[in-house]
């Protein structure tokens, strides 16, 4: 099926701060071709990790097999249950450099191990520097996914308790990760000056 089961979506995309037991990454995607002022949808669907292969790499293999026309512009949008790990972020950044006619927007439900002294924040910074737009999913994004990728049987999407607060918290955390390092140092200096 092209559509995800409701329980599968709600379990895997719930934007909990501590998502214990959620080890798989799901990736919902939309691929569009831009023709001047209009765009044409080419494909949509969802993928999940397979044995030994992360979902981001699976998608790159899938899209590379399309033999994209270098004279046309393409826009890919991902909605992921976890942000990419360091290695996957590197693979995606290299892919984007190889396809300058392709843009990628990533909306993620949760940040994958983006704590201090881990490599993942650096991976996200490199991915962002390679041109990927990265954001945390909001109610609007979950609503869109529910209506586009989920076998919802005409049921309206209902947000869970804490959805908005967790989105705000994760958005702030992502913004701090993506700040250029000199801005982070400037902020630290400002906080020291203020005694904070």
Give 16-42 pLDDT, tens digit per residue: 877 777 889 999 999 999 877 778 888
What is the reported pLDDT for 35?
76
Which residues lie closer than 8 Å to 191 by C-beta, 6 or more apart?
A: none
Q: Going from the N-terminus, what domains does the chain have, and what CATH number goes with each?
A: 6-194 (3.40.140.10)
Active site residue 56: yes
Q: For residues 15 and 19, which has the higher predicted lDDT (pLDDT)?
A: 15
Q: Note the pLDDT tens digit of each residue in 116-147.
A: 567 788 999 999 999 999 999 999 999 999 99
What is the reported pLDDT for 108?
97
Cα atoms found within 13 Å of the Cα of residue 48, Cβ hemisphere only: 14
Pull the structure tokens for residue 78. 């991902």
Q: Note the pLDDT tens digit of each residue in 60-75.
A: 999 999 888 888 999 9
* Cβ proximity of 44 and 148 under 8 Å: yes
- Please tell me which residue in 24, 56, 122, 183 is annotated as part of the active site: 56
* Cβ proximity of 151 and 3 under 8 Å: yes
* Cβ proximity of 50 and 81 under 8 Å: no
């Amino acid at each position: 099926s092209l559509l995800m089961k409701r329980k599968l979506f709600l379990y895997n995309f719930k934007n909990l701060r501590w998502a214990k037991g959620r080890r798989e990454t799901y990736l919902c995607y939309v691929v569009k071709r831009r023709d001047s002022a209009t765009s044409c949808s080419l494909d949509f669907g969802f993928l999940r990790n397979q044995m030994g292969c992360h979902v981001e790499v699976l998608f790159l293999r899938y899209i590379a097999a399309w033999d994209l026309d270098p004279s046309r512009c393409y826009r890919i949008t991902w909605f992921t249950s976890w942000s990419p790990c360091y290695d996957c972020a590197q693979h995606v950044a290299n892919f984007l450099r190889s396809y300058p006619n392709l843009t990628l927007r990533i909306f993620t439900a949760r940040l994958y191990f983006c704590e201090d002294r881990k490599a993942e924040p650096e991976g996200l910074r490199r991915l962002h520097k390679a041109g990927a737009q990265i954001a945390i999913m909001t109610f609007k994004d979950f609503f869109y996914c529910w209506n586009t990728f989920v076998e919802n049987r005409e049921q309206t999407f209902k947000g869970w308790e804490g959805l908005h607060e967790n989105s705000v918290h994760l958005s702030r955390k992502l913004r701090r990760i993506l700040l250029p390092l000199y801005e982070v140092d400037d902020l630290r200096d400002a906080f020291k000056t203020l005694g904070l």
